[in-house]
Amino acid sequence: MKDVTDKNFGVIIAFLLPGFIFLWGLSYSSRTVASWIAKSSTSDTPTVGGFLYSTIASLALGLLISAVRWLFIDSSLRWFTALPDLDFGKLKEKDNFYAFQGVVENHYRYYQYYSNTLIAVILSFGTYVSYGPERPSLTLWIGVPVIVIVLYFASRDALSKYHKRAAEIADGGKPR
């Protein structure tokens, strides 16, 4: 397996981690999923197959969460964040292309992580409330909404920085 590099780090944080958070939440409703992450197996030792299943399932769930994010978070953030008019033709210049890739990796991927994780936390908490072994504590009832609010504002900030810097690279893009 390849090492984590700048080429795959963005995918890991944008899709794999939020997908795993939701997978962990689903483990309360599925013994099979719980066994993949060695949550309720008899030996409590993760297996190679479990690792593979949980990795693939996390990635698939992360992509699904991203679609949900697009539907709800992206739409709501458009109310607060001006979208620049980007001339992607300017990216034909090698320096502009690499600069744009840097903006994507340093801002857009974090936006995806924050907003996808927001969705994953909500879904996981809902699953935990429905199927968890015990009732959620007051700390969870207070902590989860606080985390959701922080993730929402972090995603808003990261998306705003992405739009601003992408417009600068695309040579004077103006907000709509």
Name the percent of the chain lying above pLDDT 70.
88
Q: How far apart are CA 86 and CA 153, in angstroms?
A: 24
Predicted pLDDT of residue 112: 95
Per-residue confidence band for 6, with pLDDT thresholds at 50, 70 and 90: low
The residue ranking higher by pLDDT, 3 or 99, is: 99
**Count H helices, E strands: the chain?**
8, 0
pLDDT at 173 over 60: no
pLDDT at 169 over 70: yes
Per-residue confidence band for 176, with pLDDT thresholds at 50, 70 and 90: very low
The per-residue pLDDT of the chain, averaged, comes to 85
- Check the CA dihedral 111-114-117-119 and report its sign: negative
Q: Which whole number is the average pLDDT over 4-24?
A: 85
Per-residue confidence band for 1, with pLDDT thresholds at 50, 70 and 90: very low
Q: How far apart are CA 58 and CA 117, in angstroms?
A: 12
Per-residue confidence band for 39, with pLDDT thresholds at 50, 70 and 90: low
Q: Which whole number is the average pLDDT over 14-28?
A: 93
Q: How far apart are CA 120 and CA 123, in angstroms?
A: 5
Per-residue confidence band for 49, with pLDDT thresholds at 50, 70 and 90: confident
| Nearest Cα to Cα of residue 13 among 57, 59, 54 | 59
pLDDT at 145 over 80: yes
